[in-house]
Amino acid sequence: MRLPDPALVVLVGASGAGKSTWAQQHYRAEEVVSSDGLRGVVGSGPYDLDASADAFTLLDTIVAARLGRGLTTVVDTLGLDAERRRAWRAAARAAGLPAVAVLVATEAAECRRRNAARDRPVPAPALTAQLGKVREVGHELGVEGWDLVVPVADTTAPPPATPAPSPVPRADRTSSLGLRTVLQVSRFPWGDDPLAWLGGVARAADEAGFAGLALMDHLIQIPQVGRAWEPIPEPWVTLGALSGLGTGLELGTLCTPVTFRPAGVTAKAAATLSALTGGRAFVGIGAGWWEREHAAYGLPFPTAKERLDELERAIVTMRALWAKGTKAYDGDGVVLPETTGYPRPAGPVAVVVGGSGERRTLRIAARLGDACNLRTGEAEVVRHKVGVLHEHCAAVGRDPAEVAVTVLDLPVVGRDRDDVWRRVERHRGRTAAPAYAARTHAGTVADHRDRWAALAGEGVSTVFLATRDLDGPDDVLALAGLNA
Ligand code: GDP
Ligand code: MG
């Protein structure tokens, strides 16, 4: 079961029904606002009924403040007062959040048993009254205007388990969702032993069932990922080092800007990597976008049109040099007097065209790419872009089945709900937490699998996964469930 998130969640149920237990199983402690808890804050303890009025005043203030910030709020009270429920719904409406009622309708006898076992049981007649009221309210919830009413029968059910990591990667490294995942490494917090760190990450990726490992290609660390003085190694050199580890990972860049190296040199690097890995090299290639790194390294940074023209010529050049034979090439604006390229690639080198530009980039992918790479994790965006890609395929006479759809997904992935929100707090900067969480689809492995299933449904075959806080091998292993 997945409830809307962020949302207002109002619990309804008798004492001992298991409301607090359910809330604790599904939400962070900070997200649950409990009348018992607040009696303990303003009164002598959770059962200090004399403190109820103060506790509810405080509760309403907290609910309003949290909802106003767009934060998930779970109201843990008996939930039997229609007027209070109406006010909380109105607060959710005002904040633009969905309002969910969770009816914890545990059997009366069980509630009585659990109540009797408590330090301070509710008097029997009071509990009987509560149980009668819960039955009534159960009928009313359906017509009160909740966005969702969820009956919860058994609060012992554990929260949705994350799928067990597959201990041995499948031969084709395709998950049960029908997706392959390539780990994109963009940060290199490698301390004083770069090779050991890189080796640890790559071996962990292999063990965790990733199909490949991609390195970002930048000359200066980009501000979206880190600070300018953090290391960002030359990718082809680094991939060469990774090729010697004996993993089964495909290795390549995402994305190499055409502006960095003449296309023939990129073709040479990729062919060499293919030879070293027995045919597991790929080239993600794009038009480049960051003017600063070009200026700093003395590289020209032509106009977007010229860079896209170059992207086309680069792919044509690479393919010509990788092809059999050494004969001259003349076509598509590329003239080469010979195409002598040894070593030959040991297998097909997939060309992944990075970028979502609808007029040119996707047309280049349709015409010349083995795959496009869309920078999104949203199924609706993928659907639209794939529509555009396929129009280009039709226009240039290419079979759309020959152009794989891949995405670059940059989510926050946590081990559990607490961990997810710790990571959101760590990385959100000045962005409000709910906005950052929404943009990064912040969630557990199970949450991301649900989203990825939708991506697969839109025809995505490979997800390039870039998590922002990949500090080392342990963080890679924690992602294994995505590949199961
Ligand atoms: P609340 O009064 O509705 O908030 O109920 P609690 O969540 O505090 O649960 C009351 C008591 O029942 C606690 O001692 C819980 O540990 C226990 N409890 C809650 N849910 C279950 C359950 O599903 N099975 C069992 N056996 N005990 C439960
Ligand atoms: Mg409780």
- Could you report the per-residue pLDDT of 334-385, keeping only the tens digit for each? 999 999 999 999 999 999 999 999 999 999 999 999 999 999 999 999 999 9
Q: What are phi and psi of 256, to 5 degrees?
A: -85, 120
CA of 15 to the centre of ligand 2 (A): 7
User: Tell me: the pLDDT tens digits for 289-311?
Assistant: 999 999 999 999 999 999 999 99
pLDDT of residue 405: 98
pLDDT band at 432 (very low <50, low <70, confident <90, very high): very high
pLDDT band at 172 (very low <50, low <70, confident <90, very high): confident
pLDDT of residue 436: 97
* For the chain, counts of helices (H) and of strands (E): 17, 17
pLDDT of residue 167: 53
Per-residue CA distances from 108 to 37, 90, 117, 135, 269 (Å): 24, 31, 14, 10, 71
pLDDT band at 161 (very low <50, low <70, confident <90, very high): low
Alpha carbon nearest to ligand 1 atom 16, residue: 21
The CA distance from 342 to 199, in Å, is 28
pLDDT of residue 52: 97
Q: What are phi and psi of 24, to 5 degrees?
A: -65, -35
Kindly give the pairing relationship between strand 334-336 and strand 329-331.
antiparallel
The CA distance from 466 to 448, in Å, is 13
Residue of 47, 37, 19, 39 whose CA lies nearest to 120: 47
Least distant ligand from the CA of 116: 1
pLDDT of residue 2: 84
User: Tell me: the pLDDT tens digits for 237-284?
Assistant: 999 999 999 999 999 999 999 999 999 999 999 999 999 999 999 999
User: Tell me: the pLDDT tens digits for 6-56?
Assistant: 999 999 999 999 999 999 999 999 999 999 999 999 999 999 999 999 999
As given in the structure block, the two tokens for residue 377 are 């994790």
Alpha carbon nearest to ligand 1 atom 26, residue: 156
Residues near 467 by Cβ (< 8 Å), separated by ≥ 6? 410, 411, 412, 413, 475, 479
- Taking the CA of residue 76 as reference, the ligand 1 atom at the shortest distance is 4
Write the secondary structure of 391-423 as one string of H (helix), E (strand) and C (coil): HHHHHHCCCHHHCEEEEEECCCEECCHHHHHHH
pLDDT of residue 153: 79
Q: What percent of the chain has pLDDT over 90?
A: 95
Tell me which DSSP letter residue 323 carries: S
How confident is the model over 191-213, as a mean pLDDT? 98
Residue 10, classed as helix, strand or coil, is strand
Average pLDDT across the chain, whole number:
95
To test the pocket of ligand 1, the residue of 114, 130, 133 to mutate (highest count of ligand atoms within 8 Å of its CB) is 114
Name the pTM for this structure.
Answer: 0.90
The CA distance from 34 to 83, in Å, is 17
pLDDT at 163 over 60: no
Q: Domains in the chain, start-ordered, CATH in brackets?
A: 8-152 (3.40.50.300), 180-483 (3.20.20.30)
Total residue count of the chain as it appears in this document: 484
List ligand 1's pocket residues with C-beta within 6 A: 13, 15-21, 104, 114, 154-156
To test the pocket of ligand 1, the residue of 9, 11, 15, 21 to mutate (highest count of ligand atoms within 8 Å of its CB) is 21
The CA distance from 22 to 24, in Å, is 5
